């Protein structure tokens, strides 16, 4: 029995139209302060100076992955491929959602940065999912999210089992360091 697919038809989007819309992005200066791991307050008080220095050595080694403030952008991943199996479904292009006027400048700044850093590019794809802006904790910075619910409805189920939470937690027993970044 064939699976019934409900497809929400969207608007046709072209790269040229998006480039014209993005042409209104104001030029925002992108002065990024260099990341200096020696200026960080590293570790808890109960850690020895030697342990704190070991952490700084790791931070120095990977300093290119950090930006001191603002919406930090890591370098783009190279060679990563993501294929989503949607079977024989027709491409889905959903309408863009309205963005609150007071968030537009922040969005433009973030998009310009993502373009400058090569993390996003213009696309001619017939697929389009709307963005959703979420204010980070403190209400100053924004988090750019994509609403993939339409595509998720079309996605074929994976045939390999997902790891269980208990299984993943069992693998943590040998870990010495845990790091949590930007949980806002």
Domain shared by 54 and 144, yes or no: no
Q: Tell me if residue 146 falls in helix, strand or coil.
A: strand
- How high is the pLDDT of residue 7? 44
Asked whether residue 7 falls in the same domain as residue 45, the answer is no
Pair 20, 95 in one domain: yes
Is the domain of 17 the same as that of 96? Answer: yes
pLDDT tens digits for 133-179? 988 888 888 888 999 999 888 988 777 777 888 888 888 877 777 77
Q: Domain check: are 14 and 100 in the same one?
A: yes
Residues 2 and 61 in one domain: no
Please give the pLDDT value at position 146.
Answer: 92
Residues 95, 21: one domain? yes
Question: Is residue 74 pLDDT above 90, yes or no?
Answer: no
d(CA 30, CA 47): 36
**Domain assignment of residue 172, yes or no:** no
Residue 165 belongs to some domain of the structure = no
Average pLDDT over residues 177-182: 68
Domain span at residue 51? 34-68
Give the pLDDT band (50/70/90) at residue 131.
very high
Element (H, E) at 145: strand 142-146
Name the pTM for this structure.
0.51
151 and 126 housed in the same domain: yes
Domain shared by 4 and 62, yes or no: no
The tens digit of pLDDT for each residue in 101-124 reads 889 889 998 888 888 877 788 888
Residue 163's pLDDT is what?
Answer: 81
Is 94 inside any structural domain? yes
Residue matched to tokens 């997902």: 162
Task: List phi, psi (to 5°) of 133.
Answer: -95, 135
Task: Name the residue with tokens 């960080």.
Answer: 40
38 touches 119 (CB < 8 A): no
Convert the pLDDT of each residue in 13-69 to its tens digit. 444 444 444 444 444 445 556 677 777 777 777 888 888 888 888 888 887 766 655
Phi-psi region of 19 (alpha: psi -120 to 50; beta: other; left: phi over 0): alpha
Per the structure, the count of domains in the chain is: 2
- Is there a domain that residue 63 lies in? yes
């Amino acid at each position: 029995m064939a699976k019934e697919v409900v497809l929400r038809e969207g608007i046709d989007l072209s790269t040229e139209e998006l480039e014209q819309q993005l042409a209104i992005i104001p030029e925002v200066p992108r002065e990024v302060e260099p990341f200096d791991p020696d200026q960080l307050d590293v570790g808890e008080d109960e850690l020895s100076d030697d342990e704190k220095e070991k952490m700084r050595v790791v931070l120095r080694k990977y300093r290119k992955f950090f930006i001191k403030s603002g919406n930090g952008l890591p370098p783009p991943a190279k060679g990563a491929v993501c294929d989503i199996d949607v079977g024989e479904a027709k491409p889905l292009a959903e309408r863009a959602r309205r963005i609150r006027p007071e968030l537009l400048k922040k969005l433009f700044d973030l998009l310009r940065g993502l373009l400058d850093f090569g993390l996003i590019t213009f696309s001619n794809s017939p697929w389009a999912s709307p963005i959703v802006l979420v204010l980070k904790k403190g209400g100053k910075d924004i988090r750019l999210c994509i609403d993939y619910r339409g595509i998720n409805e079309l996605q074929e189920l994976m045939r390999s089992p997902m790891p269980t939470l208990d299984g993943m937690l069992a693998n943590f027993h040998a870990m010495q360091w845990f790091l949590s970044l930007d949980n806002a």
